[in-house]
């Protein structure tokens, strides 16, 4: 198994890392209208929401991407700087015990749509509905300011 990892020393670096991954994806998918599903594993405080904020910034989303903990999903539109319109879906499945809750939010349309960027915190709670084609990133707390992000094959 090929597992790459990345260390960051503060929240800004984690956002920069997210932006870099997002740029790479945008470049590769410029002439396609595909979706990007990123599963964010790891404990509370690991940096999953911080990472999501970096993605939002890269897409020129005007609002700040916040943890959607109490409402499961938040939807954001990319900003004017993008040459295409993307929709960012940020899921927090921390409180979900049945994947049906995600299906009820229009999951199939989101996953089957075009130019959707889908970020999921606590994806293990909905693992039965996750498509195979996705990026898995695991966030680990090293010390107060250091985080380790691991690309995981699942």
- Binding positions for ligand ADP, rule: CB under 6 A: 8-11, 13-14, 42, 44-50, 67, 121, 139, 145-147
Rounded least distance, CB 37 to ligand ADP, Å: 17
Rounded least distance, CB 9 to ligand ADP, Å: 6
| Cβ-based neighbour number of residue 68 at 10 Å | 20
- Contact between 50 and Mg ion per CB under 5 A: no
For the chain, how big is the Rg over CA atoms in Å? 15
Stretch that binds Mg ion, among 30-38, 46-54, 104-112, 133-141 (CB under 5 A): 46-54
**C-alpha pair distances (Å), 10 with each of 37, 136, 142:** 24, 21, 12
Determine the Cα–Cα distance for residues 25 and 20; give it in Å rounded to an integer: 9
Give bridge partners of residue 124 from the DSSP assignment. none
Rounded least distance, CB 144 to ligand ADP, Å: 7
- Cβ–Cβ under 8 Å, residues 147 and 131: no
- Contact between 14 and Mg ion per CB under 5 A: no
Among 10, 29, 67, 136, binds Mg ion (CB under 5 A): 67
Residue in 122, 95, 152, 115 with CA at minimum distance from that of residue 25: 115
Which residue, 10 or 136, has its beta carbon nearer to ligand ADP? Answer: 10
Which residue, 111 or 137, has its beta carbon nearer to ligand ADP? Answer: 137
Rounded least distance, CB 123 to ligand ADP, Å: 12
- Contact between 49 and Mg ion per CB under 5 A: yes
Using CB under 5 A as the binding criterion, the count of chain residues that bind Mg ion stands at 4
Residues that bind Mg ion (CB under 5 A): 48-49, 67, 121
């Amino acid at each position: 198994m090929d597992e790459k990892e990345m260390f960051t020393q503060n929240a800004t670096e984690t956002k920069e890392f997210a932006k870099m991954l997002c740029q790479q994806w945008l470049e590769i998918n410029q002439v396609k209208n595909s979706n990007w599903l990123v599963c964010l594993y790891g404990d509370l405080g690991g940096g999953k929401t911080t990472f999501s904020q970096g993605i939002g910034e890269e897409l020129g989303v005007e609002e700040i991407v916040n943890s959607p903990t109490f409402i499961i999903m938040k939807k954001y539109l990319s900003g004017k700087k993008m040459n295409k319109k993307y929709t960012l879906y940020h899921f927090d499945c921390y409180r979900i015990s049945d994947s049906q809750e995600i299906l009820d939010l229009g999951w199939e349309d989101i996953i089957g749509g075009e130019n959707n960027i889908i970020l999921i915190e606590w994806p293990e709670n909905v693992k039965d509905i996750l498509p195979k084609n996705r990026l898995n990133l695991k966030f680990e707390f090293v010390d107060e300011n250091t985080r380790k992000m691991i690309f995981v094959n699942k």
